[in-house]
Structure 1
């Protein structure tokens, strides 16, 4: 049996793309599947039920400690497993991916983001240094991509960039598991609330979303996710609209499903930074899978997806008034909510779903053997 080992020093536990989609799909296809990642004992047990052997990393606090010490720990644990194929998910593991390649292993680099573009919007990197760091990251990816056997990317746009460095690059799009968030046969009543699920930072557009709330006094925002910076959390808590926010923090997938089922729209109003313009945000497709109309940033690619599916409304993500207007339009028309919700789910079932991508992933792996 072919042994495969996924490596991640930056993600946690039962990550949706890494564990539930890729690792579980590989295990179901008959691969001896291992995952080295930050995890709890309970998560190790849950992974075993799905046929995945999870190897937890020793917890390390601090961003830079993780990027150095935990990356090394991840490599050492993974190397000990002596897998046939190594599949890693974080840029800090690129040097170790090169070492595994030099040792004769087949190595896949899974690129979740356009890293150089992503770095340009990182608040924790001084503005004057972002261009230099982004350039260095691009050089590192270029060196690695030429060494690795193949590249898997989360969007076709990232795959296009990597094919210039490694022709064995393929997009394995991060589309949703279609049944995970489906509304029940007897769905719960929708509340006058909009939800946002995901990481919380400035460029995710959360501030204008909260600033829209005072324009809609009877509307609430359910916010699920972790803040990237404590200062930004304090900034948002001081806004007048914060009184209309139900902040749940990081929640499990069952709670995500419940929040989406009770909401009348899902927001993905990310700012127009370079990394987002051609991205395919998983939350947009998860809202669609949950029969939830999407209020999305008016980027050309997103507008095409939303309009073709008739699954929501596109707005200026930096305009509280535009966001409030879209929410009000939906709140005033329950039939439109149901129509857009059902249209979005149909688009997921026909085009934007993980089973289609899982077939690509399995073929991708079999072609390596």
Structure 2
């Protein structure tokens, strides 16, 4: 039996992206007689990838540029070269080219819906107001018009099931749960921080909306109370102005360290920072584009029994209470003294590491969907 080729593609995510490679890619590489190809933004390929996983770093451009439009040509050339049997598109912009290829060849199309793109565009300040509305209209029109040609939808957030009408009943919820690496060891619980110096962590996308400046402000307050307190910021900042502001604030505070910032950071390096820290910060600013979502780092921190300080949100607060995983506060006006007392007095993760935060359950659902659309695979 000849090998079937599965292409996982994103215009904006790097080829070593956690969801594309570590979750979708590595899971599907376990199927017999399958090659997994990952196309995305230019980044260092993972060094320990299985022999049947291939990387195609096709894209490298600024957010608004002609090279972004030209990337469609490079992508379609890759489709013609690989002739995949199944395409998993992780960015809306690659839907038209993927649909065209599937019309002309024996190939199925899955759409991995990682964000509510139209809502993000209209509610966030990444573009000028008129441009935001035009881009959101274009994205929404594209998704709705091509939805009937998508064989199945993979959906990263439960909230999208209510927000995105084009999903209909052809979807499988694949939440961004944590997939441990081979060296993962289940941490000892409960966790107590009575005497230990606070090693705070902000990981992932560095952005104002995600509360980077609130994290720095809280770290400063806690450092004033306990001078041994440190903060590690690790991740990538796409906005240059924000990056410069963060850099200036970090340089003025020797107890804050930044890893990455103006460059992508491999996920294994982020995991190492989780292991080196004892309090994880989730200072997301209240916003309609993130309010009903579950941050990936919430699963990551819980898997490593890392106590969390989280912006108050009904969904996140329920999770913290259920698993005794952390403390909810208002990052806009934190009571640092009270927070410090709570951190020192509480025992975290007394019920144990939550079993529901791991990717295993999602992998089973993914395999079932892919086998359905690659019937020769057993």
Label 1:151 to 1:78 Cα distance change in 2 as closer, same or farther (>3 A).
same
**Are 2:284 and 1:270 equivalent residues in the alignment?**
yes
2:116 pairs with one of 111, 114, 117: 114
Contact 2:61 2:68 in 1 (8 A): no
1:289-328 to structure 2, matched below 5 A, reads: 289-319=303-333, 321-322=334-335, 324-325=336-337, 327-328=339-340
> How many aligned residue pairs are there?
356
Counterpart in the other structure of 1:352: 357
User: Which region of structure 1 is more displaced relative to structure 2, 129-138 or 205-214?
Assistant: 129-138
Label 1:44 to 1:329 Cα distance change in 2 as closer, same or farther (>3 A).
closer
Give me the whole-angstrom Cα distance separating, in 1, the residues matched to 2:27 and 2:281. 29
Label 1:271 to 1:241 Cα distance change in 2 as closer, same or farther (>3 A).
farther
Counterpart in the other structure of 2:204: 198
The CA deviation at 1:230 is 1.9
Give me the whole-angstrom Cα distance separating, in 1, the residues matched to 2:342 and 2:185. 20
Contact 1:181 1:286 in 2 (8 A): no
The CA deviation at 1:108 is 0.6
Counterpart in the other structure of 1:154: 156
2:39 pairs with one of 27, 36, 39: 36
SS in 2 for 1:275: coil
The CA deviation at 1:145 is 1.6
Give me the whole-angstrom Cα distance separating, in 2, the residues matched to 1:294 and 1:133. 36
Give me the whole-angstrom Cα distance separating, in 1, the residues matched to 2:269 and 2:207. 21
1:226 pairs with one of 228, 233, 236: 236
Which structure has more relative contact order (CA 8 Å, sep 6+)? It is: 2
TM-score (normalizing by structure 2): 0.85
Give me the whole-angstrom Cα distance separating, in 2, the residues matched to 1:159 and 1:80. 35
RMSD: 2.7
1:124-163 to structure 2, matched below 5 A, reads: 124-162=126-164
Label 1:194 to 1:151 Cα distance change in 2 as closer, same or farther (>3 A).
same
SS in 1 for 2:115: coil
The CA deviation at 1:240 is 8.7
Give me the whole-angstrom Cα distance separating, in 1, the residues matched to 2:199 and 2:338. 13
The CA deviation at 1:254 is 3.6
Q: Which consecutive unaligned segments of at least 5 residues does structure 1 have?
A: none
Counterpart in the other structure of 1:47: 49
Label 1:325 to 1:159 Cα distance change in 2 as closer, same or farther (>3 A).
farther
Give me the whole-angstrom Cα distance separating, in 1, the residues matched to 2:338 and 2:77. 50
After superposition, what is the alpha-carbon deviation per residue over 1:119-177, rounded to whole angstroms, capped at 9, x for unaligned? 13443301343234223322221112222111111112213444644421111111001
Q: Which consecutive unaligned segments of at least 5 residues does structure 2 have?
A: none
Give me the whole-angstrom Cα distance separating, in 2, the residues matched to 1:251 and 1:55. 18
SS in 1 for 2:64: helix
The CA deviation at 1:332 is 2.5
The CA deviation at 1:293 is 0.8
After superposition, what is the alpha-carbon deviation per residue over 1:7-43, rounded to whole angstroms, capped at 9, x for unaligned? 1221113211111111111111223222222345x62
TM-score (normalizing by structure 1): 0.87
Contact 2:231 2:257 in 1 (8 A): yes
Give me the whole-angstrom Cα distance separating, in 1, the residues matched to 2:340 and 2:111. 43
Counterpart in the other structure of 1:63: 63
Label 1:130 to 1:64 Cα distance change in 2 as closer, same or farther (>3 A).
closer
Contact 1:211 1:239 in 2 (8 A): no
Label 1:317 to 1:29 Cα distance change in 2 as closer, same or farther (>3 A).
farther
**Are 2:226 and 1:214 equivalent residues in the alignment?**
no
Structure number with the higher helix fraction is: 1
Give me the whole-angstrom Cα distance separating, in 2, the residues matched to 1:230 and 1:155. 28
Label 1:284 to 1:296 Cα distance change in 2 as closer, same or farther (>3 A).
same
